[in-house]
Structure 1
Amino acid sequence: HGTRTLLVQALAWSQGLTKAQVRAADSLAGAAALFDQHYQARCGTRSQLYPQVRETLVALRSRGVKLAVVTNKEGRYTATVLNAHQLLPLLDRVVSGDTLPTKKPDPAGIANCLAEFGVAPARALFVGDSSIDVATARNAGVPVWALPYGYNMGQPIAACAPDRIIADCAALLD
């Protein structure tokens, strides 16, 4: 996952090419630059938080729970989206796709957060909405709960066997 992967998939689909053909095309760099310019100006401007996200983060933070985001989205986009939704002040750590040398499903992002917080994997919980999120948590040895909405490449979230499927973020408060 990540912005470049998403761009390659979109270009391959729209142009009737394979992903390998798109990656090899001389025009990919130009397309990526145009995408970057447009996306940076637009990301977070039309999106809405899923139900109970803000309320749940506020409640968890008030209980002293350490909160982090681990995403494959590049840091410049991540910050824009989190700021647009006023979530950044609720988070203790943000690991973006370009924070570390590796991206999800590599466990380094989760391991980085656990080390900073001084928390053992068994005492953490990773919440996600995709098979990549479930694989990342499994690779880090962290329990994982999944939400049935979000971007999971058209597959039901149950197919990747998270520890629990929750209807919305409010279930984290139970």
Structure 2
Amino acid sequence: VIGGVYDRFYAERCGTRSRVYPAVRETLAALRAGGVRLAIVTNKEHRYTDRVLAAHGLAEAFDRIVCGDTQPTRKPDPAGVLGCLRAFGITPERALFVGDSAIDVATARAAGVPVWLLPYGYNMGQPLQDCAPDRIVDDLSALLAPQAEAAA
């Protein structure tokens, strides 16, 4: 009973109180304008992911969205990332996984993809440095810096 009530409550409010972090819109637009293919690989259920993206007008920014309930395995299994790489026709070393948690680092490592972490999000209180990403960046605009091109 409680699970059903929670699901209805979350479904009604999902995305209504969240905010887009600084530099996200501008960075996504610049990357797309530069021809970069973008994907989301999340453990969040598809119905909630769609709702959050729609609430913030971000769904069109992504070429591919892989959710926790749209395939047999979830992160840190690399299947979602590997599927994106295949769909985009690129090798792991030509991609960059940007995340915010140890699960994201484990996922990227399992897929052979470099990984950068952002200091916001959900990491169960664990310091980001302990996750051993390739880089920790302050915000998404770091992807537009010249060194980002060399790292990706």
Q: Secondary structure at the match of 1:122?
A: helix
* Deviation readout 1:6-46 (Å, 9 max, x if unpaired): xxxxxxxxxxxxxxxxxxxxxxxx22211110101001000
Instruction: Report what 2:127 is aligned to.
Output: 156
Specify every segment of 5 or more residues in structure 2 that has no aligned partner in the other structure, as ranges.
Answer: 146-152
Paired residue for 2:66, among 95, 101, 120?
95
**1:97, distance to aligned residue in structure 2 (A):** 0.5
Structure 1 stretches of 4+ with a deviation exceeding 3 A read none
In structure 2, what residue type is equivalent to 1:161?
A
Q: Secondary structure at the match of 1:167?
A: coil
Give the distance between the partners of 2:4 and 2:90, measured in 1 at CA: 39
How do 1:118-133 and structure 2 match up within 5 A? 118-133=89-104
How do 1:73-152 and structure 2 match up within 5 A? 73-152=44-123
In structure 2, what residue type is equivalent to 1:58?
A
* Deviation readout 1:100-155 (Å, 9 max, x if unpaired): 10000000010111111011001000000000001000010000000111110011
Instruction: Report what 1:71 is aligned to.
Output: 42
Q: Secondary structure at the match of 2:3?
A: helix
TM-score normalised over the length of structure 1: 0.82
In structure 2, what residue type is equivalent to 1:83?
A
Instruction: Report what 2:148 is aligned to.
Output: none
TM-score normalised over the length of structure 2: 0.94
Instruction: Report what 1:23 is aligned to.
Output: none
Give the distance between the partners of 2:3 and 2:118, measured in 1 at CA: 30
Give the share of equivalent positions with the same residue, in percent.
66
Give the distance between the partners of 2:60 and 2:101, measured in 1 at CA: 25
Q: Secondary structure at the match of 2:7?
A: helix
Specify every segment of 5 or more residues in structure 1 that has no aligned partner in the other structure, as ranges.
Answer: 1-29
Could you say which structure has the greater relative contact order, defined with CA pairs below 8 angstroms and 6 or more residues apart?
A: 2
In structure 1, what residue type is equivalent to 2:144?
L
Flag the structure with larger Rg: 1
In structure 1, what residue type is equivalent to 2:94?
R
Give the distance between the partners of 1:31 and 1:71, measured in 2 at CA: 24
CA root-mean-square deviation: 0.6
